[in-house]
């Protein structure tokens, strides 16, 4: 058995889980919204009173891989509609700023033009300060994708430590070129 897949998923109060056995689609509804996703038919999903159990139908290698993946995806759906997800990013550098413009954010990051980023469906932005961004949503994949898109605009520079980084991301600063005998 998969170590992840064998663990049951507890359904918190206020979250409703529906399973369509024909299409093998799971719908999760909670206080923050609703998510649905179709899963492989080789994995059996059982919804009991306050738990979701994931079982595999065979011992094939691909089915074993899908077992833990399916459990993780459903657990992320349940957590997303109940609590939601947040990714935080920080801007480091002289003159690097971010501002909220309607639903979009406008980032001044040292280019000749400001960069405008639109939220993906089901996500939103929060700008607590002019050098930090919060990406919020109920779908963990979309929140992570949007944070990665913003991070890619200007990755942190290992020499000057400037750029957009995830909150808590640690960078190892590289030394620049050292002057040798030829430089004297």
pLDDT in tens, 169-179: 888 888 888 76
> Rounded distance, CA 11 to CA 28, Å?
10
Structural domain range at position 151: 85-166
The proportion of the chain whose per-residue pLDDT surpasses 70, expressed as a percent, equals 96
Are 29 and 76 contained in the same domain?
yes
Are 55 and 92 contained in the same domain?
no
Q: Cβ contacts of residue 103 below 8 Å, gap of 6+?
A: 118, 119, 124, 125
Q: Is 56 within the bounds of a domain? A: yes
Are 46 and 104 contained in the same domain?
no
Count up the domains in the chain and report the number.
Answer: 2
- Biggest CA pair distance of the chain: 77
In this structure, what token pair is assigned to residue 90?
């920080």
Residue by residue, pLDDT tens for the chain (184 residues) are 567 888 999 999 999 999 998 898 999 999 999 999 999 999 999 998 899 999 988 999 999 889 999 999 999 999 999 999 999 999 999 999 999 999 999 999 999 999 999 999 999 999 999 999 999 999 999 999 999 999 999 999 888 889 999 998 888 888 888 766 655 5
Q: Cβ contacts of residue 178 below 8 Å, gap of 6+?
A: none
Q: Write the CATH number for 13.
A: 3.90.930.12
Q: Cβ contacts of residue 164 below 8 Å, gap of 6+?
A: 89, 90, 91, 92, 107, 109, 150, 151, 153, 154, 155, 156
- For residue 162, what is the DSSP state? -
In this structure, what token pair is assigned to residue 60?
């094939």
pLDDT in tens, 89-117: 999 999 999 999 999 999 999 999 999 99
In this structure, what token pair is assigned to residue 182?
């030829």
Burial class (CB in 10 A: 0-12, 13-18, 19+), 170: exposed
Distance from chain centroid for Cα 12: 21
Are 19 and 74 contained in the same domain?
yes
Q: Which of 82, 105, 126 is the last residue of a domain?
A: 82
Are 48 and 76 contained in the same domain?
yes
> Rounded distance, CA 4 to CA 6, Å?
6
Q: Is 182 within the bounds of a domain? A: no
């Amino acid at each position: 058995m998969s170590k992840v897949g064998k663990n049951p998923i507890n359904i918190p109060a206020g979250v409703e889980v529906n399973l369509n056995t024909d299409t093998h689609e799971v719908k999760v509804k909670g206080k923050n919204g609703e998510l649905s996703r179709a899963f492989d038919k080789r994995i059996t999903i059982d919804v009991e009173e306050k738990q979701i159990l994931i079982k595999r139908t065979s011992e094939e290698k691909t089915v074993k891989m899908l077992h833990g993946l399916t459990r993780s995806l459903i657990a992320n759906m349940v957590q997303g509609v109940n609590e939601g997800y947040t990714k935080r990013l920080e801007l480091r550098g002289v003159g690097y700023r971010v501002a909220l413009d309607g639903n979009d954010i406008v980032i001044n990051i040292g280019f000749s033009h400001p960069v405008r980023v639109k939220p993906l469906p089901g996500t939103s932005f929060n700008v607590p300060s002019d050098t930090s961004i919060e990406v919020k949503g109920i779908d963990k994949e979309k929140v992570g994708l949007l944070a990665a898109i913003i991070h890619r605009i200007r990755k942190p520079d290992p020499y000057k430590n400037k750029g957009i980084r995830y909150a808590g991301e640690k960078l190892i600063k590289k030394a620049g070129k050292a002057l040798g005998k030829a430089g004297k």
